[in-house]
């Protein structure tokens, strides 16, 4: 099955109309190895990216996504200089001296440097962002190219090794297991290995005046990385994460990553928290001692199953991320003594009834893909399904879903097709009402 529609004559090929400038043709990446240095005070990033891929067709030219803020000094392909490389509109375009056959190995090395900055998008600034003291990467949905050359589309998953050198006072976090931490003079190099296939937008870099704190060893190793001044608030606000992990593993299946889970709290306030593979990032404002962000803490943890391990192949299916993570909030609320999932469902059902009913959950459009109605209507769709097939079948279905598509990508039809195996009656009326119509149906 191809991952794109054949373009009509005169129009550039598009992998995903929600992010039409992203993603590339002709090859499939299996691994990225990043060797980088970042100097905080001058916001300077420099280093190299080594990319392992395979050609999907005979290839004479190819492109990578890379921000125009970063200058490329050298490119090599399979150990040789290409005939040419050039930059245009967020792309690094490479022309080979001679074509490669389909199925050929592709080993690409790119040396680059510059002052990284966020990519301006329909959803605001995304990607690499300076903090008061440090930096963060918020890659969703198309910000990965702000700091490394890549095939920036959720359907393109790969493993990663990330080595980042930065000044000694700073703690650096990236995805996966910390393999080594080596200090030389004024710089420390942190090397992380992320073996599970990961979408580019879920790869992150977090640098700040942080300390590490171990939270739990069971059921999953859990760590926090945060400023010392927030430690006391953190212990209260985030203290129930191990219980969340236990509940979600019971309901959704085993935690999908081998290297545990890390929460980063920045020294700055953040408008919203964000997920990365094996990592969630919160602002100091989410750690104020009031435990008011617990709903968000549950939401970001649930994304490790729904969004990070099982990833939507195209952004129109983002309800498979946000609807599921929102429903996980309601499940945690019920388990921890708060409102039941049914009470949440009835509350938000009424709110949706009072909101504009012009959003199609199965294809909300790029402007509305992060609209709160996608989150709430997605969760209500799951609640309606649960009421139709019963608790036992519903949670069997969720475990089957996370197992079947573990570290892979899926679309809405995959979920509705799988759900049919757990129903005694046709689910088509339910899907038509919740996924493929704009009106809010009865609950």
* pTM across the whole model: 0.96
Percent share of the chain, pLDDT over 70: 97
How do residues 359-405 score in pLDDT, each as one tens digit? Answer: 999 999 999 999 999 999 999 999 999 999 999 999 999 999 999 99
Residue 439 pLDDT exceeds 80: yes
Q: Which fold has domain 210-304?
A: Zincin-like (3.30.2010)
pLDDT tier at 8 (50, 70, 90 boundaries)? very low
pLDDT tier at 9 (50, 70, 90 boundaries)? very low
CATH superfamily assigned to domain 310-434: Neutral Protease Domain 2 (1.10.390.10)
Q: Look at residue 5 in the predicted model and tell me its pLDDT.
A: 40
Rounded CA-CA distance 72/85 in Å is 9
Q: Look at residue 4 in the predicted model and tell me its pLDDT.
A: 38
The overall average pLDDT reported for the chain is: 96
How do residues 82-120 score in pLDDT, each as one tens digit? Answer: 999 999 999 999 999 999 999 999 999 999 999 999 999
Q: Look at residue 218 in the predicted model and tell me its pLDDT.
A: 84
CATH superfamily assigned to domain 23-209: tricorn interacting facor f3 domain (2.60.40.1730)
How do residues 260-276 score in pLDDT, each as one tens digit? Answer: 999 999 999 999 999 99
Q: Where are the domains of the chain?
A: 23-209, 210-304, 310-434
Rounded CA-CA distance 378/311 in Å is 15
Report cis status (omega within 30 of 0) of the bond before 327.
Answer: no
Mutual angle of helices 391-404 and 372-389, in 10-degree steps = 120
pLDDT tier at 163 (50, 70, 90 boundaries)? very high
Query: What residues form DSSP beta bridges with 51?
Result: 32, 108
């Amino acid at each position: 099955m191809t991952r794109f529609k054949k373009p009509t004559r005169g129009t550039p090929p598009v992998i995903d109309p929600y992010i039409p400038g992203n993603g590339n043709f002709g090859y499939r990446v299996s691994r990225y190895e990043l060797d980088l240095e970042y100097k905080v005070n001058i916001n300077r990033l420099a280093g190299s990216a080594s990319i392992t891929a395979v050609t999907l067709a005979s290839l004479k030219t190819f492109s990578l996504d890379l921000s125009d803020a970063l200058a490329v000094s050298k490119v090599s392909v399979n150990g040789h200089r290409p005939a040419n490389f050039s930059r245009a509109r967020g792309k690094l375009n490479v022309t080979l001296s001679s074509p490669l056959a389909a199925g050929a190995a592709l080993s690409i090395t790119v040396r680059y440097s510059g002052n990284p900055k966020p990519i301006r998008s329909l959803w605001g600034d995304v990607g690499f962002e300076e903090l008061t003291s440090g930096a963060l990467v918020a890659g969703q949905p198309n910000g990965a190219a702000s700091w490394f050359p890549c095939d920036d589309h959720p359907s393109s998953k790969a493993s990663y090794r990330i080595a980042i050198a930065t000044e000694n006072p700073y703690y650096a976090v990236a995805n996966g297991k910390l393999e080594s931490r080596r200090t030389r003079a004024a710089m420390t190099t942190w090397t992380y290995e992320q073996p599970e296939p990961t979408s580019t937008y879920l790869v992150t870099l977090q640098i700040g005046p942080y300390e590490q704190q171990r939270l739990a060893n069971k059921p999953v190793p859990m760590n926090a990385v945060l400023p010392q001044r927030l430690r006391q608030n953190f212990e209260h606000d985030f203290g129930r994460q191990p219980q969340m992990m236990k509940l979600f593993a019971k309901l959704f299946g085993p935690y999908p990553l081998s290297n545990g889970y890390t929460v980063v709290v920045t020294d700055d306030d953040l408008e919203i928290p964000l997920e990365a593979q094996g990592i969630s990032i919160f602002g100091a404002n989410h750690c104020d001692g009031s435990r008011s962000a617990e709903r968000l803490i549950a939401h970001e943890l649930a994304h490790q199953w729904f969004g990070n391990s099982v990833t939507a192949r195209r952004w129109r299916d983002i309800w498979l991320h946000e609807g599921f993570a929102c429903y996980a909030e309601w499940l945690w609320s019920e388990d921890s003594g708060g409102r039941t999932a049914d009470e949440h469902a009835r509350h938000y059902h009424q709110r949706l009834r009072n909101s504009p009913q012009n959003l199609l959950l199965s294809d909300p459009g790029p402007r509305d893909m992060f609209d709160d109605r996608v989150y709430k209507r997605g969760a209500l769709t799951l609640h309606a399904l649960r009421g139709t097939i019963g608790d036992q079948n519903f949670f069997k279905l969720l475990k089957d879903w996370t197992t079947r598509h573990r570290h892979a990508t899926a679309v809405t039809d995959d979920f509705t097709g799988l759900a049919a195996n757990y129903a005694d009656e046709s689910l088509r009326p339910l899907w038509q009402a919740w996924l493929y119509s704009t009106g809010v149906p009865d609950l």
